[in-house]
Chains A and B, each alone.
Chain A
Amino acid sequence: MIRYTASRLISLILSLIVASVVIFAVIEVIPGDPAAYMLGMNAAPETVAALRRDLGLEAGVLARYFAWVGGMLTGDFGMSYTYRVPVADLVAARLWVSLPLTLYALGLAVALALPVGVLAAARRGSVTDAGIMGAAQLGVAVPNFWFAMLLVLVFAINLRWFSAGGFPGWDQGFWPNVKALTLPAVALALPQAAILARVMRSALIETLDQDYIRTARAKGLSHGQAVMRHALRNALIPVLTIVGLQFSFLLAGAIIIENVFFLPGLGRLIFQGITQRDLIVVESVVMLLVFAVILVTFLVDLAYAAVDPRLRRR
């Protein structure tokens, strides 16, 4: 187990290093002179030179890379050019919207998809199965941001159960914020739940065809007992993979959905960063997103080992 964890940890660190190099190269090396790019074509040479000094662009590429990485490791993400505040402060505030939204949606998707997928697999070929799979087929095809617009139309504009957007902020208490995140989370979760339910169903059906299920039945377990005691845990292995991948889809989806609901999350920050050519903000937020995805991959790998003993002793 220690060996396995260590090897996953090494892989995590290597991924982070390579990812940071890629991001740094795209943002700071490919444009040539980031300062000139950020200020646009009409900027005076003196302004550009001043910004170059501000950003520390006088130093060599390697030195700048290490300064950037070193800064991030100590919580210093640099200064936003447009907001004139530390990027770390900007990001911290926005993260408390995007991250809860993503996790809320992930929780909803898993809570909905797993039971439904199990039900469909256990009743394979029945009307229930056909109904669930038909709904899932439709759910997979729905773009989450469009679904979000429909939710706004029905639940905010017509029924007035929720507000159409906005975020009160965590200092206003827990429940108002949960309410504000509910429609966005549902919009994000449903298409992913449809995918997850399909995966759960097919993984379980595949597991039910395995020899050890027949062994379990020969021991006297009923079909239901065989599913619960033997098939489920084995079927979770492919499901975990998809849950891990879905985190990154949900995170990306959250960035888009924030636009529909006017949520002050990372999405809004990064799109403002793009329009205002604030490369420092873009660079930091992208690195943060990629870090989150790599971290989740690592956690999923650990979860594998918890589920599957064959991995532990490798």
Chain B
Amino acid sequence: MSLLSVEDLGLTIHGTPILDGVSFDLPVGQVLGLVGESGSGKSMTSLALMGLLPRGAQVSGQAHMDGRDLLALDERSLCGIRGKEIGMIFQEPMTALNPVRTIGDQVAETLVIHGAASRAGARAMARDRLDRVGLSDFPMDRFPHELSGGQRQRVCIAMAVALRPRLLIADEPTTALDVTTQAQILDLLKGLVEEEDMALLLITHDLAVVAGVADHVAVMQAGRIVEDGPTEQLFRTRRHDYTRQLFAASSHQPRRDTRPSAQPLLQVEGAVRSYTLPRRHLFGPAPQLHAVRDVSFTLHEGESLGLVGESGCGKSTLTRAILGLEPLQAGRITLNGQRVEAGRMPPALRAQVQVVFQDPYGSFNPRHRVERLVAEPFHLAPAPNRRDRVAQALVDVGLKPADMDKYIHEFSGGQRQRIAIARALIIRPKLIVLDEAVSALDVRVRAQILDLLADLQGRMGLSYLFISHDLSVVRAVTDRVMVMKAGEIVENGATGAIFDNPRHEYTRQLIAATPRIPPNWREREENEGTLV
């Protein structure tokens, strides 16, 4: 029996079509995964069901739940349903909680607002719900800023399930979290669904997450559902072309032709970096944050070296030190035998390392044309024929020379990452640091960029330091990998060996927590066509 039955849901915002003919059924007590890339309309679908669409939105179609059409209800009735019969959690736990009210208050509010309990009763029930989501150690009078991202997401879940709603909508609930935290939150959601006989609409971009959690899957593209069905069946058959593309891209393995030499390029020896934190007591000693403690490793010419770890493990600080932007307190970093030191690096040395960042939107000065953006590193190594070199670099990354006269806002996210790579390449560095360079991209674009990187490495003999939180990507594109935790490198070795046979406990945790599509679901993969 279906709890929620959506028929022909359509949506326009200020006349722009967003959703078109979206239909699906969500049976009682089951999990439906709604999968799609950014902009496919999956979040808007959930907001439409909740009646929380932005101004200017026009919906059509029906969404039946218990004999009522959610889309036809007035605001007053919707207020009675939200939080009581449908709970919802969002992507960003860091901003989803009111910073000036305690977590106990915010959970109890769901109960009070629906008249389910007196104030005292609501607090007792809130305590119970917080215990259930795994926050039994946390007093109710904590404020959100005193909690980590994962803990905050637990509070959000406690809030959403406080009244035991029959439907829970989770919009990318783990996207902002580290992989081990993600696994815990997904387990919690699965447990709640079973215990409370709740249905879950799980919205995500990540096929592997869906594979592990959902009973049914619906694949969305450009405001329509292109394919849906039971999870395993859909993953095995992949009837629709778009599903096949997503599937292939999510486990894409670029063709790599690398010949790492024995010649060391980057050597880090005993690197230490700590920061002084504000004092806790007026006269006590100032505590230290040891961001990087005694890290040593070598990167060889022509090699791809991966660096994985969760947020706060120190990989950003280490990256900044390698780029010569952050001084070390002890140890040394050498590039091609020369000392890398923040503030006193000769241009010729700096020119040997360049970087590509994560955010394709924040990586470029919006006021400069592409020519000037790409040419920026010439500051280190002036060249006479700049325009030609920029044109060549753009061609190298698959863009047109004419693109150099455009502004950055004229490009998509994937194109911007290509421009970022062109900027890194322009002065022919030996080493390129890829700092979460594909993490913000949709899977299909990500696969293309990984191919490009592999191709450039083969042609130009580049070395990559590939920093990422995404283990599956690191596995696909690196020769060796290092695992970092709490400022230290806990394991270091050939990529295949580490992933197949992790020795350190933390590495094992990371690998176990990484969601995966079961290998036997992908049998048809070999004879499938290439990417878009």
Complex contact flag A–B (Cβ < 8 Å): yes
Interface-forming stretch among B90-98, B367-375, B458-466, B476-484? B90-98
Q: Is B99 part of the contact surface with A, judged by Cβ < 8 Å?
A: yes
Q: Is A310 part of the contact surface with B, judged by Cβ < 8 Å?
A: yes
Q: Is B114 part of the contact surface with A, judged by Cβ < 8 Å?
A: yes
- Given the known A-B contacts A211-B95, A310-B99, A314-B278, are A220 and B143 also in contact in the complex, defined by CB atoms under 8 Å? no
CB-nearest residue of chain B to A218: B88
A-facing mask of B326-337, CB < 8 A → 1, else 0?
Answer: 000000000000
Interface-forming stretch among B76-84, B253-261, B523-531? B76-84
Q: Would you call B100 and A234 a contact (CB within 8 A)?
A: yes
Q: Would you call B113 and A221 a contact (CB within 8 A)?
A: yes
Q: Would you call A220 and B80 a contact (CB within 8 A)?
A: yes
Q: Is B206 part of the contact surface with A, judged by Cβ < 8 Å?
A: no
Q: Would you call B92 and A211 a contact (CB within 8 A)?
A: yes
Which residues of chain A are near B80, meaning CB under 8 Å?
220
- Given the known A-B contacts A218-B52, A309-B145, are A211 and B96 also in contact in the complex, defined by CB atoms under 8 Å? yes
CA–CA, A313 to B278, complex, Å? 11
Which residues of chain A are near B76, meaning CB under 8 Å?
222
CA–CA, A229 to B114, complex, Å? 15
Q: Would you call B145 and A222 a contact (CB within 8 A)?
A: no
CA–CA, A104 to B6, complex, Å? 59
Q: Would you call B110 and A230 a contact (CB within 8 A)?
A: no
Q: Would you call B99 and A215 a contact (CB within 8 A)?
A: no
Q: Is A33 part of the contact surface with B, judged by Cβ < 8 Å?
A: no
Q: Would you call B82 and A218 a contact (CB within 8 A)?
A: yes
Q: Would you call A212 and B79 a contact (CB within 8 A)?
A: no
Which residues of chain A are near B96, meaning CB under 8 Å?
211-212, 214-215
- Given the known A-B contacts A6-B282, A220-B83, are A212 and B113 also in contact in the complex, defined by CB atoms under 8 Å? no
CA–CA, A216 to B160, complex, Å? 10
Q: Is A276 part of the contact surface with B, judged by Cβ < 8 Å?
A: no
- Given the known A-B contacts A211-B90, A225-B113, are A219 and B83 also in contact in the complex, defined by CB atoms under 8 Å? yes
Q: Is A93 part of the contact surface with B, judged by Cβ < 8 Å?
A: no
CA–CA, A212 to B79, complex, Å? 16
Which residues of chain A are near B508, meaning CB under 8 Å?
none
Which residues of chain A are near B160, meaning CB under 8 Å?
218-219
A122 to chain B, nearest CB (A): 14
CA–CA, A312 to B95, complex, Å? 19
Q: Would you call B97 and A212 a contact (CB within 8 A)?
A: yes
CA–CA, A219 to B81, complex, Å? 9
Q: Is A210 part of the contact surface with B, judged by Cβ < 8 Å?
A: yes
One of B99, B114, B281 near A309 (C-beta < 8 A): B99
Q: Would you call B113 and A215 a contact (CB within 8 A)?
A: no
One of B82, B90, B98 near A220 (C-beta < 8 A): B82
CB-nearest residue of chain B to A222: B79
Q: Is A233 part of the contact surface with B, judged by Cβ < 8 Å?
A: yes
Which residues of chain A are near B100, meaning CB under 8 Å?
233-234, 307-309
B-facing mask of A212-248, CB < 8 A → 1, else 0?
Answer: 1011111111110100011001100000000000000
B260 to chain A, nearest CB (A): 45
B-facing mask of A241-262, CB < 8 A → 1, else 0?
Answer: 0000000000000000000000
CA–CA, A309 to B103, complex, Å? 12
Q: Would you call A234 and B83 a contact (CB within 8 A)?
A: no
Q: Would you call A229 and B143 a contact (CB within 8 A)?
A: no
Q: Is A84 part of the contact surface with B, judged by Cβ < 8 Å?
A: no
Q: Would you call B282 and A219 a contact (CB within 8 A)?
A: no
Q: Would you call A220 and B95 a contact (CB within 8 A)?
A: no
Which residues of chain A are near B281, meaning CB under 8 Å?
3
Place the interface of chain B in its size category.
20 to 34
Q: Would you call B109 and A214 a contact (CB within 8 A)?
A: no
CA–CA, A214 to B98, complex, Å? 10
Which residues of chain A are near B90, meaning CB under 8 Å?
211, 214-215, 218
Which residues of chain B are near A225, meaning CB under 8 Å?
113
A250 to chain B, nearest CB (A): 27
Q: Would you call B99 and A219 a contact (CB within 8 A)?
A: no
Which residues of chain A are near B50, meaning CB under 8 Å?
217-218
Which residues of chain B are near A221, meaning CB under 8 Å?
79, 83, 109, 113
CA–CA, A220 to B82, complex, Å? 4
B-facing mask of A132-160, CB < 8 A → 1, else 0?
Answer: 00000000000000000000000000000
CA–CA, A313 to B88, complex, Å? 31
Q: Which of A269-314 contact B (CB under 8 A)?
A: 307-310, 313-314
Which residues of chain A are near B282, meaning CB under 8 Å?
3, 6
CB-nearest residue of chain B to A125: B55
CB-nearest residue of chain A to B82: A220
- Given the known A-B contacts A219-B110, A310-B145, are A212 and B98 also in contact in the complex, defined by CB atoms under 8 Å? yes
CA–CA, A3 to B97, complex, Å? 26
Q: Is B159 part of the contact surface with A, judged by Cβ < 8 Å?
A: yes
CB-nearest residue of chain B to A225: B113
Q: Is B41 part of the contact surface with A, judged by Cβ < 8 Å?
A: no
Most buried by A among B80, B82, B100, B160: B100
B130 to chain A, nearest CB (A): 15
CB-nearest residue of chain A to B76: A222
Q: Is B70 part of the contact surface with A, judged by Cβ < 8 Å?
A: no
CA–CA, A186 to B95, complex, Å? 41
Q: Would you call B109 and A219 a contact (CB within 8 A)?
A: yes
Q: Is B132 part of the contact surface with A, judged by Cβ < 8 Å?
A: no
Which residues of chain B are near A308, meaning CB under 8 Å?
99-100
Q: Is B75 part of the contact surface with A, judged by Cβ < 8 Å?
A: yes
Q: Would you call A215 and B97 a contact (CB within 8 A)?
A: yes
CA–CA, A215 to B76, complex, Å? 17
Which residues of chain B are near A309, meaning CB under 8 Å?
99-100, 143, 145
CA–CA, A153 to B171, complex, Å? 62
Most buried by A among B80, B84, B113: B113
Which residues of chain B are near A210, meaning CB under 8 Å?
95
CA–CA, A222 to B146, complex, Å? 28
CB-nearest residue of chain A to B46: A218
CA–CA, A220 to B163, complex, Å? 11
A-facing mask of B272-303, CB < 8 A → 1, else 0?
Answer: 00000010011000000000000000000000
One of A215, A219, A222, A307 near B75 (C-beta < 8 A): A222
CA–CA, A314 to B279, complex, Å? 9
One of B84, B87, B109, B146 near A229 (C-beta < 8 A): B109
The 12 sampled A-B contact pairs (Cβ below 8 Å) are: A3-B281, A211-B92, A212-B95, A212-B99, A219-B109, A220-B81, A220-B82, A221-B113, A222-B76, A234-B99, A234-B100, A313-B146
A-B residue pairs, 10 tightest by C-beta: A220-B83, A219-B83, A211-B95, A218-B88, A220-B82, A309-B143, A212-B98, A219-B110, A215-B96, A211-B96
Interface residues of A (CB under 8 A from B): 3, 6, 210-212, 214-223, 225, 229-230, 233-234, 307-310, 313-314
Interface residues of B (CB under 8 A from A): 50, 52, 75-76, 79-84, 87-88, 90, 92, 95-101, 109-110, 113-114, 143, 145-146, 156, 159-160, 278, 281-282
